Structure 1
């Protein structure tokens, strides 16, 4: 009699479930970082908050600081899509309308107050700062491809590359400006959302005006 040849044990996780676990870990990490600081937070604590082992945390992320990367990068695809759909003659700040902001978060998960606190931590936590800047470094080629497609240009054309760099810098500056300023504001989630949108649209208006 021969033993069964099929694999036993748990079935492999789907890609959708893996993405969910990554986001759960990210949300737990940001809550702990904001509450007790990065240095005081361990991988074991992050895992416990989600109900997984520290080994699982390290399977998904190379460091505790990198655990927050899904929250920073969640909106890249949506923003690239909006740039691709940007109509000729349409003001850039209108591409990111209040209706869009209501239906989508540029960073997923925690509320704006928590996200603001997390971005402020990037000022004093080099590990988080590196993750924050890496997110924008990875986003820039996606923005350049979207702008090239919009204009019917090749991906190697310099113009969309420069435009993407300007847009990317404005986006990061707007979010950081919002985060620094929100530390002095006491607002609810809806007001915070409107404040972030207004800051972004002001930054995009500056980009569209160009240098003079």
Structure 2
């Protein structure tokens, strides 16, 4: 696989205000607390009050941001998708899509932060979600939102004549490749790096789902 060509996307919206950054930081603190408690005690053994206390915030602050305890994990789950889409956004238009997707997936799932925090948290949450429909619903919603955000990135990298159906199908397949890989990995004691790691399973899933797609030929 060749090295990626550097690409600097156009500047986005204005930087977040201090208030917005504080809000995001508080939400992430609550999400981390919820993930820790779910892993320790399971969703049934955890209350919103427990999460607020662990996060060091008032219960009213918890409910200002989240409707229920399961929703509290969404910011942390969404972080993985944000990371891999950001890596894909760095790819230069004209880079073969198959290379761009595989490179972004691999980098996001072998990044030190992902290995150190994200993957361990995801494994615990997915195990907890096995018996909690509300927690599974949050996981599926986060993946659906990530898929929708992926569409314009793929459209930017695809050939000018790529049709909407093909772009949407590739976005769905790429998202599901990562989702299924993480779900399968979470049921095992597999490593975070190397064979049978999330990155390895995700790349294998990506090839299985996308190799026959016209956009990647």
Task: Give the TM-score normalised by the residue count of structure 2.
Answer: 0.77
Shift of 1:60: 0.8
User: 133-142 vs 149-158, which deviates more?
Assistant: 149-158
Determine the structure 2 residue equivalent to 1:71: 76
1:11-160 matches, cutoff 5 A = 14-84=19-89, 85=91, 87-88=95-96, 91=99, 92-97=101-106, 101-105=110-114, 110=117, 112-153=119-160, 157-160=164-167
Instruction: Tell me if structure 2 keeps the 8 A contact 1:145–1:155.
Output: no
Corresponding position of 2:201: 199
In 2, distance between residues paired with 1:151 and 1:144?
A: 10
Shift of 1:192: 1.8
Greater mean deviation of Cα atoms: 73-82 or 58-67? 73-82
Summarize the Cα distance change of 1:103–1:35 in structure 2 as closer, same or farther, 3 Å threshold. closer
**Partner Cα distance (2:18, 2:86) in 1:** 29
- How far apart are the structure 1 equivalents of 2:176 and 2:109? 21
User: Residues 113 and 154 of structure 1: is their aligned pair in 2 closer, same or farther, counting only changes over 3 Å?
Assistant: same
Distance 1:111 1:76 in 2: 11
The gaps in structure 2 that reach 5 residues or longer are 1-16
CA positional deviation for 1:162:
1.0
- C-alpha displacement of 1:102: 2.5
Pick which of 115-124 and 73-82 moved more. Answer: 73-82
CA displacement at 1:142 relative to structure 2: 1.1
Shift of 1:100: 7.1
Any unmatched runs of 5+ in structure 1? 1-11, 186-190
Q: Deviations over 1:155-208 (max 9, x none)?
A: 9822101111111111110110111123xx5xxxxx424422111122122223
**What TM-score, normalized to structure 1?**
0.78
Answer whether contact 1:69 1:132 (CA < 8 A) is retained: yes
Structure 1 residue 90: Cα displacement: 5.2
The 4+ residue runs of structure 1 with deviation greater than 6 A are none
Measured in 2, the distance between the counterparts of 1:144 and 1:82 equals 14
TM-superposed CA distance for 1:38, in Å, is 0.8
| 1:175-186 → structure 2 map (5 Å cutoff) | 175-182=182-189, 185=190
Number of paired residues? 191
Map Cα deviations across residues 70-100 of structure 1 (whole Å, 9 max, x no partner).
Answer: 1111122332233342722753433434587
Find the aligned partners of 1:125 and 1:138 in 2 and give their Cα distance: 20
